[in-house]
Amino acid sequence: MHGTGVASWIAHAGVMARRSVRGVVRQPQLWAPSLVFPLFFCAVSAAAFGRTTNLPGFPEVDSFLTFLVPATIMQGVMFGATSAGTEQAIDMENGFNDRLLAAPVARVPLLLGRLGGIMVLSVVQTLLFTAVLVIAGASFAGGVAGLVAMVAVSALMGAAVGAFSMAIALKTGSVEAVNGFFPIFFALVFLSSAFFPPELSGGWFESVASVNPVTWMIDGTRDLVVQGWSLQAAFRAVGVAASLLVLFLSLALRALRSSLRS
Amino acid sequence: MDHPIVAEGLVRRFGDLVAVDGVDLHVARGEIFGFLGPNGAGKSTTVRMLTTLLSLSAGSATVAGYDVEREPHIVRRVIGVALQEAAIDPIMTGRELLKLQSVLHGIKGRVASDRGDELLERVGLTAAADRRVGTYSGGMKRRLDLALSLVHEPEVLFLDEPTTGLDPTSRQALWEEVRRLNDEFGTTVLLTTQYLEEADQLAGRIAIIDGGVIVREGEPDQLKSEVGSPTLRLDIDPSRHDEARAILSQYGESRPARSERVAIGLEGGAARVAEVVRSLDETSIEVTHMELDAPSLDDVFAEATGRRLEGAAETGAG
Amino acid sequence: MTVTIDTSGRGDAAFGFWSSARIVMWRGWVKTQRMPSIVVQSLFFPTFFLIVYSGLYDAVTDLPGFPTDDVTNWFLPFMLFQGAAFGGLGAGFGTAVDIDSGFFDRLLLMPGNRSAIMVGSVGYALLRSLFVAVVVAGVGVALGASPTDWAGVPLLALAVVAISIMGSLYSLALIYRVKDQRVAPLFPIGIFVLLFVSSAQVPLSVTTGWLNAAGRINPVTNLLRLGRQAFLDTGVTWEDTWGGLVAIVVCTALLGWWAERGLRHYNP
């Protein structure tokens, strides 16, 4: 009875994607913080640390606001993507998952559908943030190609974080646990080059930031924003995001398999 | 007569919704007064107004002689309240909650701990006193809630749906306890309930509330007899039915019954059953089986509102 | 046995005010100990930010206008404030849970002055905040923070206590009005904005544009000026002290009034 044909796979995933987009859009308390918090933090930091771009050794950039563009977008995307895991956990607490699993549809498309929904939301959020930041005075040197690359990074990263939080949700089935893991991404962003050049601060921070994959991704994206399109920068940013997605997606699929067995 | 609870023209609106629409209550000292009605009838809203937790939209009320709006602090000293959904903190222990409740009511030190022990004993929770309330059963929680409402020896006790959701045994135990309190200390009790049996068993007087309005008020038996006479059904050999009907007609009107039976609406109620049997016996009509179906509170409710109380179908089938 | 209850007087305020406040505070503290995850959560952000900021923004103190070269000295008072303010919100969160469960009705049924509930809630949130503050201060010292003027330490402690009380009163004023647990997660937003739109990250003279204008009128800037004196090269001066003291008195009084009014008119 299982619909295993490619067409039905895609159909199920599409339904799930639409459902997850609708689910998020209808609950402002889920998406509002992911819009407000990063933009507020960006506004405050830009005004507080505006003069630091004159410090000797600060990478060439026209303003601190421009420097913060990748950080703000990534923070927003990660923040927003966690809501997917929250959704999954809420569904599980409500027993929706049991109904889904009992229905004659393949399970993997359900998970992929949700991730597809997150990717859509991440893309929308990235375009919105870019527009807001450019209106506020940030420059964007990357052009259309740069923007496309940045949007791709956001979509992949959103899906990666979503896959991670869904892995947690599937393993624990608890909304609290998903929210409890959110600080991990928060910490990863703060322990990277997102908010200040680590080479200026030096010390332990520089060492930690240099091995943090978020730094590699942010640096690549920042090169697109500040210096303009380069295949090498785009490849670096997209590569990191895609690798994280593969890693977390395999975790989520394993969690899904073991939740089906139990 | 002395009335510790008096309400006149009590009204409570929530926006456009009128939850309580002109309720008058006079509860006498020492009585157990039952407030019976379905969910959303306005029982809890009335109790919340009487216990100073909700302001009045119109009307007035006094508890133990104190005005609930002008003298709420004094009202709170003399009332004990066990609210619906047992508002009990699951991660505290029973003893800790008793301590908190005592201090909030101005009882401290040894007096408080002695009183706490006495109450735990009374409601049978001594062994569970130091366990977290989260581990208690539903019945234990309600019993603790009752004990909490008693720390300051209140003159008037409000119990808002004290047994909703409890199993029959736990319900019986709680009824026993309420009766005992009423007997020993003469505590005036106002209890709300959606269970007919509870109102019937426990309350000396009841008010039936529906849609925010009291539709009937009085002693349960009196209310039932107002609905009509009980139905007396007699199993009699069909060959003698005509004779039997002739005799029975002097005790009440004939009512429909299955073929082997004769039924009447017995005027004067159960007290006249013996008389009926004697009359039949005198003419040697043998009665093999007899049933007397008194009207239930549900019949009273149905007669007043045109509806049956939820979940009362099995008791109200008469 | 009987307990005599004097029903003659109306002296609500005399009806065991402090013992009631103390028992409400005691309950909050007992609960906090049984839910260590709450303490861990309120420790996480100030501790994490202190560690990260002292690494991330190490170079910022090189900017002209910074009154210290030590980045940990600069950020420690702010992180203490953050811990205290969010710890203070615990009063509102706890009350929100109580309102949701119906337990708050039990407290409201106390015959004495209901303000004791408010004072007790503030008290237990303060205990929690102080616990967080001690841990964060310990982490700060471990990272190399050290007071330059010990006379400023009691002033910093005073500011931390005041911030916790203000955070509590703010959250209580809101929850007494909205009476809905679902709104509680929005409470930190106000605190977050107030804390950051100030001299929290860099001195006012270093800020640019709107932040400079807004930070100037934000009382948190005054409180930071008061609290930071223990750790700056300038040491304690009356000039940096009085503004903070005024802010404490005025803000606490206003927030206290706001919260108390909310509770007084609580009965829906």
pLDDT in tens, B260-306: 888 888 887 777 888 888 888 888 888 888 888 877 787 788 777 87
Instruction: State whether residue C246 sits within 8 Å of chain B by CB.
Output: no
Average pLDDT, chain A: 86
Q: How far apart are CA B293 and CA B230, in angstroms?
A: 5
- For residue B302, what pLDDT is reported? 77
pLDDT tens digit sequence for B175-212: 998 999 899 999 999 999 988 888 888 999 999 999 99
Domain match, B68 and B174 both: yes
Task: Band the pLDDT of B228: cuts 50, 70, 90.
Answer: confident
Closest CA to C68 of C176, C173, C144: C144
pLDDT in the model for residue A100? 60
Q: Say whether pLDDT at A6 is over 80.
A: no
Q: Is residue B258 part of a domain?
A: yes
Q: Identify which of C48, C63, C210 has the shortest CB distance to residue A55.
A: C63
- Nearest CA among B61, B4, B7 for reference residue B207: B7
- The C-alpha atoms of residue A99 and residue A113 are separated, in whole angstroms, by 17
Is B280 inside any structural domain? Answer: yes
Q: Which of B56, B100, B104 to mutate to test the interface with C (most CBs of C within 10 A)?
A: B104
Q: In this predicted structure, what is the pLDDT of residue B244?
A: 87
**Ranges A95-109, A183-197, B304-318: which has the least confidence:** B304-318
- Residue A234 domain-assigned (yes or no): yes
The pairing of beta strand B188-193 with beta strand B156-160: parallel
pLDDT, mean of residues A35-61? 92
Which segment of B114-128, B163-177, C100-114 scores lowest on mean pLDDT?
Answer: B163-177
Domain range for A249 is: 6-261
In terms of domains, do B69 and B23 share one? yes
Q: Which two tokens stand for residue A29?
A: 């308390």
Distance CA A25, CA B100 (A): 44
What strands lie across the sheet with B213-218, from one edge to the other? Answer: B79-82, B156-160, B188-193, B32-36, B205-210, B213-218
A43 pLDDT exceeds 80? Answer: yes
- Spatial neighbors of B108 by CB under 8 A, at least 6 apart, are B102, C16, C19
Positions of chain C with pLDDT lower than 70, given as ranges? 1-15
For chain C, the residue count is: 268
Min distance B39 CA to chain C CA atoms (Å):
18
pLDDT at A101: 62
C188 CA: distance to closest CA in chain B (Å): 25
Give residue C198's pLDDT: 95
Distance CA B154, CA A181 (A): 49
pLDDT at C176: 96
Which has the closest alpha carbon to C191: C167, C224, C156?
C167
The SS3 assignment for B217 reads: strand
Residue A139 lies in a domain: yes
Residues 6+ apart with CB under 8 A from A58: A52, A197, A200
Whether residue B151 is predicted with pLDDT greater than 50 in this model: the reply is yes
* Whether residue B59 is found in the same domain as residue B207: yes
* The total number of structural domains that make up chain B: 2
Q: Is the dihedral of CA C11, C13, C16, C20 positive or negative?
A: positive
How high is the pLDDT of residue B313?
38
Q: Is residue B277 part of a domain?
A: yes
C23 contacts in chain B (CB < 8 Å): 99-100, 103-104
Nearest to C7 among B77, B85, B89 (CB): B77
In terms of domains, do B218 and B248 share one? no
CA dihedral A112, A117, A120, A121 (to 10 degrees): -140
- What's the pLDDT tens digit per position in B239-266? 888 888 888 888 888 877 777 888 888 8
Residues B26 and B143 in one domain: yes
pLDDT for A31 beyond 80: no
pLDDT digits (tens, 9 = 90+) for A212-257: 999 999 999 999 999 999 999 999 999 999 999 999 999 988 888 8
Q: What is the pLDDT of residue B315?
A: 38
β-strand B205-210 against B32-36: which pairing, if any? parallel
Decide if A202 and C196 are in contact by the 8 Å CB cutoff. Answer: no
Task: Give the count of domains, chain A.
Answer: 1
Q: Report pLDDT for C5.
A: 44
pLDDT of residue C7: 44
Q: In what order do the strands lie in the sheet with B254-255?
A: B254-255, B261-265, B231-236, B287-293
pLDDT score, position A99: 63
Bigger pLDDT: C1 or B134?
B134
Which domain CATH number covers B218?
A: 3.40.50.300
Query: How many residues comprise chain B?
Result: 318
Q: How many residues does chain A have?
A: 262
pLDDT recorded at residue A1: 42
Q: Which member of C56, C59, C208 has the closest CB to residue A50? A: C208
Element (H, E) at C141: helix C115-142
Number of A to C CB contacts under 8 A, please give it.
75
What angle (nearest 5°) sits at the alpha carbon of residue C196, between those of residues C179 and A183?
75
Band (A105; pLDDT cuts 50, 70, 90): low
- C218 close to C194: Cβ distance less than 8 angstroms: yes
CATH number at residue B254: 3.30.70.920
What is the DSSP code string of B141-187?
HHHHHHHHHTTT--SEEEEESTTTT--HHHHHHHHHHHHHHHHHH--
Residue B27 resides in a domain: yes
pLDDT, residue A258, reads 81
Q: What pTM, to 2 d.p., does this model score?
A: 0.85
The pLDDT, as a whole number, for residue C10 is: 39
Are chains A and B in contact at 3+ CB pairs closer than 8 Å?
no
Using DSSP bridges, classify how beta strands B205-210 and B213-218 pair: parallel, antiparallel or unpaired: antiparallel
Tell me the C-alpha distance between B219 and B206, whole Å: 6
pLDDT score, position A167: 87
Residue A178 included in any domain: yes
Neighbours of chain A (3+ CB pairs under 8 A): C
User: Number of C-alpha atoms within 13 angstroms, CB side, residue C157?
Assistant: 9
- All residues of chain C having their beta carbon less than 8 Å from the beta carbon of residue A191 are 52
B189: β partners: B32, B157
- Which candidate from B76, B92, B148 shows the least CB-CB separation from C110? B76
Residue C86 burial (CB < 10 Å; 0-12/13-18/19+)? Answer: buried
Query: For B25-44, how does the pLDDT look when each residue is reduced to its tens digit (9 = 90+)?
Result: 999 999 999 999 888 889 99
Same domain? For B157 and B25 the reply is yes
Q: Could you say which residues from 189 to 228 on chain C have a Cβ atom under 8 Å away from some Cβ of chain B?
A: none
Range of the domain at B241: 229-293
Output the pLDDT for position C228.
94
Q: Quick one: average pLDDT of A198-225?
A: 94
C208 closest CA partner among A233, A190, B299, A50: A50
Q: What is the pLDDT of residue C14?
A: 52
pLDDT confidence of residue A82: 79
Residues of C in contact with B12 (CB under 8 A): none
The pLDDT confidence band at residue B62, using thresholds 50, 70 and 90, is very high
The whole-angstrom separation of Cα B207 and Cα B5 is 13
**What pLDDT score does B257 carry?**
77
CA C71 to chain centroid, in Å, comes to 23
Q: If pLDDT is split at 50, 70 and 90, which confidence band does A140 have?
A: very high
Which residues of C fall within a CB distance of 8 Å from A195? Answer: 56
Contact between B158 and B35 under an 8 Å Cβ cutoff? The reply is: no
The answer to which of A71-80, A104-113, B127-136 has the lowest mean pLDDT is: A104-113
Which of B197, B224, B251 is the last residue before a domain boundary? Answer: B224
How large is the average pLDDT for residues A183-196? Answer: 91
